[in-house]
Amino acid sequence: MKFDRLKEIVEDPWGTLGEMKERGKKVVGYACSYVPEELIIAAGAHPARLTGTREGIRLADGHLQSYCCSLVRGILEDGLSGRGAVLDGVVFPHTCDSIQRLSDIWRLNVKGGFHLDLVLPVKLDTDSARDYLVDVLKRFLSDLERALGVEVSEADLRASCLLTNEIRRLLHELYMIRWRRPELLAGADLHLLNRAVGIADRNLIVETLREAVADLGADGARETTKGNKNILLAGGMCSTPDIFNLVAEAGGRVVWDDFCNGGRMFLEPLRLDGDPIAAVADRFLSRVVCPCKHRGLTDRANHLKALATERGAGAVVFVHLKYCDPHAFDFPYLKAELEKTGIPSLLLEVEDPLPPGAQIRTRLEAFLEMLD
């Protein structure tokens, strides 16, 4: 399966967004998976997930200390360098302490375009938090309407909910195909798709995913059996496609991932009856949480254990960005809980782009050898 067009898009996200803008589309950048794309699409704009620059850092270091993660630094660099000027506006949701400050620093230093803070609740398991979340989403929609000079109807919202649900359904299906027949889709291609989902025209995404599912999904009979070297990748936002190849080269097989720009993207479809805003809120409340959010004390461990078992993973490889506090805090507990169910795990601390050198390869090889 070829994804040439998507490859071009992922390799030149700003060029892609610039072309859209030339065609008259408004482009809204956002910084985390807790921003509801449905609302941006319903407002007639194109949502673009900011994932940090692939270029060198020249300007962001003047605003951020060394102990800030490469994702936040990379996003700021795109803003300061002027690449982000193509954006009609940006949305920063409340997630971690670093993204919270990134929003302030962007607002004070990157001019042009509107700036919205989506101050979501951190608790996601109480009635008052749900009511607040619905309130915040409603306000966000009216802020977007004002900023973009549009009025959003319920029909617009329903249409965008259908679109994002279709993307989720197709992505899930593709993950399932790959899970059954891993040889059909290279991990790096899957990663490419995941990245493209946040950048490309969403209709192009649907078209590509439909084709891929039709092409690859013919034979779905085989089931992956549990294997010691079946790997579940887990972490926050993964910007390192190499990780799929590195696992393969070390003798393992990535059967699933739990990244927020991967397997967590398509969890929990939107309910299509009733109020669309409430449906968007309920999806955030029911989806397994990012470690910046709270929904009980065991939510993430239960999710990972169930996912590993369901997908026949023999081990988990955590891929964390260096200086990502929320994920680092959860790691010892998740590792211990996985061990209780006989699932070993390895932590790789990475920066984007991955530094050259063999350290990660060596660690993966040693870990996979141990799994024999």
Partner 1 sequence: MNARTDEKERKKIKAVKKMKEIMTFYYIDAKTASETGKKVAWITSGGPVEPLIAMDVIPVYPENHGAMIGAAKMGVELCEKAEAMGYSGDLCSYARSDIACATVNGGPIGGLPRPDMLVCCNNICGTVLKWYEIQARYFNCPLFILDTPFCHTSFSAEAKRYVRRQIDEYITFLEDVCKKPFDRDRMAEVGRLSIEGQRLWQAVLDTTINRPAPMTAFDAFFHLALIVTLRGTQQAVDYYRLLLDEMNERVREGVGAVDEEKYRLLWDNLPIWYRTKWLSDKFAAHGACLVADTYTSAWCSSLKYMNEDDFLESMAEGYTRIYLNIGVDEMARTVIAMIDKYGADGLVMHSNRSCKPYSLGQYDIRSIVERERGVPTLIIEADMCDERNFAEAQIEGRIDAFMEMMAAKGSA
Look at residues 251, 195, 184, 264 and name the one whose alpha carbon lies nearest to residue 49.
Answer: 195
Q: Which one of 2, 58, 139, 226 is in contact with partner 1 (CB under 8 A)?
A: 139
* 165 belongs to the binding site for partner 1 (CB under 8 A): no
Residue from 19, 117, 242, 268 binding partner 1 (CB under 8 A): 117
285-304 binders of partner 1 (CB under 8 A): 291-292, 294, 297-298
What is the SS3 string spanning 57-92? CCCHHHCCCCCCCHHHHHHHHHHHCCHHHHCCEEEE
CB 31 within 8 A of CB 74: no
Structural contact between residues 51 and 195, judged by C-beta atoms closer than 8 angstroms = yes
Assigned token pair, 345: 């795990």
To which H or E segment does residue 208 belong?
helix 202-216
Q: Please name the residue that has the structure tokens 């190499």.
A: 242
- According to DSSP, the β-strands at 114-118 and 45-49 are unpaired
Name which of 76 and 197 has its Cβ closer to partner 1.
Answer: 76
Distance in angstroms (rounded) separating the CA atoms of residues 337 and 370: 19
Of 13, 84, 89, 121, the one binding partner 1 (CB under 8 A) is 121
Write out the binding residues for partner 1, residues 325-364 only, by CB under 8 A.
Answer: 325-326, 328-333, 335, 349
| Residue 80 touches partner 1, criterion: CB under 8 A | no
CB of 122 to partner 1, least distance (A): 5
Strands 253-258, 227-235: parallel, antiparallel or unpaired by DSSP?
parallel
- Least distance (Å) from partner 1 to the CB of residue 329? 4
Sheet of strand 253-258, all strands in order from the earlier edge strand to the far edge: 253-258, 227-235, 313-321, 345-350
Binding-site member from 1, 122, 218, 306 for partner 1 (CB under 8 A): 122
**Under DSSP, is residue 126 helix (H, G, I), strand (E, B) or coil?**
coil
- Whichever of 16 and 345 has its CB closer to partner 1, that residue is 345
Q: Contact between 126 and partner 1 (CB under 8 A)?
A: yes
| Minimal distance, residue 335 CB to partner 1, in Å | 6
To partner 1, the closest distance from the beta carbon of 102 in angstroms equals 8
Backbone angles phi, psi at 123, to 5 degrees: -80, 135
Stretch of 134-142, 151-159, 197-205, 209-217 contacting partner 1, by CB under 8 A: 134-142
Binding site residues, partner 1, CB under 8 A: 62-65, 67-68, 94, 96-98, 100-105, 107-109, 117, 119, 121-123, 126, 128-129, 131-132, 135-136, 139, 291-292, 294, 297-298, 322-323, 325-326, 328-333, 335, 349
